[in-house]
Amino acid sequence: MSTSVDRRHDVLVVGAGPSGSACAYWLADAGYDVTLVERKRFPREKTCGDGLTPRAVRQLEDMGLAQELAGFHRYDGLRAMAFGRQLELAWPDHPDLPAHGYVVTRRDLDHLVAERAQKAGAALRQGTEAAAPVIEDGRVRGAVVATRDAGRTEQIRSRYVVVSDGANSRFGRALGTSRDRGLALGMALRGYYRSPRHAEPWIESHLDVRDRTGQVLPGYGWIFPLGDGRVNVGVGLLSTSDRWAGVNTTELMAAFVDTAPSSWELSRATSCGAPTGGRLPMGLSVGPRVGPGHLVVGDAAGSINPFNGEGIAYAYETGRLAAVAVGEALANDDDGALRAYESALQHRYGLYYRVAQAFVQLIGRPQLMRALVGTGMHSRTLMEWVLRIMANLLRPDEIGPAEAAYRAVAALARLA
């Protein structure tokens, strides 16, 4: 195999999921010369619940995609289900965020955003895998990429590299990132089913998923309507339970499908294929996120919200924050400007995610999980508040999300 060398770009972005495409969009929009490499070809599948909260919608609208989004299935809030009770909780009014979400397959969504980055001026190279970083004088200068169809390797050189290669993040690992194993990790599985309730305006969460012994687990089962004849069905679990290692997620998923309300008509007959799963690195558990000549964003940085397992909005947001820091570094020819990215992450999520991590440790105990959910399901007001905290949707005039979360966790623990 021959290796050719490309001219030097301003930025190379590795991976065109939500974090990479958002980062490439904002950098291209600011006029920088950006190359975005994606090892697969769009449209491609990505295992996900496909749920977009108001936070994610806001980011997509900021990237100029409001009209495109309007063609997908819009919903108004969350139906929480547990212990025979149900509460329909509308997304709250918020001065900066819409009061609705969407459910969009990642096959459609990621293609849309990658194309948006391309239209803004980023060069999108699909079927191109960043195999290894190019490191010179202790600093990243680009990547050796393998182009699948042409069967050759090439060096793409850049002043800065943004690592957005997702939860497995092989490229990030090659640059020295690792996950803090003391912090919680999520694991989830999802499949598609045909359902007569595919067009409902609510996403549904079941907060009482159980293991084989009937113990309530820290996690939830979901049914998210896609509006195209199908629903996305899944289960997510946290590693904080001491039974984590013993839980077979495939069995858990099968049990959830069997016990879900029959009106959804989930069965082998309506299944669109075997479920697939993935890991959810959360609470900024992966780092370092700033290194010589590079930044790490999205799942590669463990940016998922531990409270609810939502990662798309945080992938867009961290990609955008990284674009600001890289833009500063380029404009002022100052590598030191990259450090502002970590400060921005800490400012926006640091304390909130620390409280979230404490919360997920707490619900690792089955009695407490049961008591908290049982208590919450008896109070609409409490659950509305909990939803706003967990989805990070507090208004700016309210106390900060971290403090609110802390108070909520403390109040719930007292009640329980």
Ligand X SMILES: Cc1cc2nc3c(=O)[nH]c(=O)nc-3n(C[C@H](O)[C@H](O)[C@H](O)COP(=O)(O)OP(=O)(O)OC[C@H]3O[C@@H](n4cnc5c(N)ncnc54)[C@H](O)[C@@H]3O)c2cc1C
* CA dihedral (330, 336, 340, 346) positive or negative: positive
| Alpha-carbon separation of residue 376 from 80, 85, 87, 343 (angstroms) | 10, 11, 10, 35
* Cβ at position 187, least distance to ligand X in Å: 8
- 219 near ligand X, judged by CB under 6 A: no
Size of the site for ligand X (CB under 6 A): 41
* Bond preceding residue 288 cis, omega within 30 of 0: yes
Provide CB contacts within 8 A for 317, sequence distance 6+: 22, 55, 59, 303, 348
- Residue from 6, 8, 46, 153 touching ligand X (CB under 6 A): that is 46
Nearer Cβ to ligand X (312/404): 312
Q: Which of 391, 401, 171 is nearest to 286 (CA)?
A: 171
Helix count (H) and strand count (E) of the chain?
Answer: 12, 20
* Cβ at position 55, least distance to ligand X in Å: 9
Nearer Cβ to ligand X (16/412): 16
Nearer Cβ to ligand X (38/154): 38
* Cβ at position 377, least distance to ligand X in Å: 22
Nearer Cβ to ligand X (272/399): 272
Cα angle, residue 350 at apex, residues 179 and 30 outer, rounded to 5°: 90
Give exposure, 63-87, as e/b (b: 16+ Cβ within 10 Å): bebeebbeebbbbebbbbbbeeeeb
Q: Which of 245, 257, 278 is nearest to 209 (CA)?
A: 257
Q: Which of 131, 153, 157 is nearest to 1 (CA)?
A: 153
- 48 near ligand X, judged by CB under 6 A: yes
Nearer Cβ to ligand X (147/375): 147
- 17 near ligand X, judged by CB under 6 A: yes
Q: 62-121: which residues touch ligand X (CB under 6 A)?
A: none
Q: Which residues pair with 147 in a beta bridge?
A: 128, 152
- Region from 245-253, 299-307, 323-331, 338-346 binding ligand X, contact rule CB under 6 A: 299-307
Nearer Cβ to ligand X (18/287): 18
- 60 near ligand X, judged by CB under 6 A: no
* Cβ at position 310, least distance to ligand X in Å: 4
- Residue from 12, 13, 16, 257 touching ligand X (CB under 6 A): that is 16
Rounded CA-CA distance 225/147 in Å is: 37
* Cβ at position 367, least distance to ligand X in Å: 27
* Cβ at position 95, least distance to ligand X in Å: 22
Q: 257-286: which residues touch ligand X (CB under 6 A)?
A: 277-278, 280
Q: Which of 324, 409, 405, 392 is nearest to 96 (CA)?
A: 392
Rounded CA-CA distance 255/166 in Å is: 29
- 37 near ligand X, judged by CB under 6 A: yes
- Residue from 11, 13, 14, 120 touching ligand X (CB under 6 A): that is 14
Rounded CA-CA distance 278/189 in Å is: 7
- Region from 5-13, 182-190, 333-341, 381-389 binding ligand X, contact rule CB under 6 A: 182-190
Instruction: Tell me if residue 81 falls in helix, strand or coil.
Output: strand
Rounded CA-CA distance 59/97 in Å is: 9
* Cβ at position 210, least distance to ligand X in Å: 19
Q: Which residues pair with 85 in a beta bridge?
A: 82
Nearer Cβ to ligand X (234/291): 234
Gyration radius from the chain CA atoms: 21
- 237 near ligand X, judged by CB under 6 A: no
Q: Per-residue x/- marks for ligand X, 148-167, CB under 6 A? A: ----------------xxxx
Instruction: Tell me if residue 280 falls in helix, strand or coil.
Output: strand
Region of 227 (left: φ > 0; alpha: ψ -120 to 50; beta: rest) is: left
* Cβ at position 121, least distance to ligand X in Å: 20
- Region from 17-25, 208-216, 327-335, 393-401 binding ligand X, contact rule CB under 6 A: 17-25
- Region from 183-191, 255-263, 387-395, 396-404 binding ligand X, contact rule CB under 6 A: 183-191
- Residue from 200, 204, 211, 299 touching ligand X (CB under 6 A): that is 299
Residues interacting with ligand X, by CB under 6 A? Answer: 14-20, 37-40, 46-51, 129-130, 164-167, 170-171, 188-190, 234, 277-278, 280, 298-300, 304, 310-313, 315
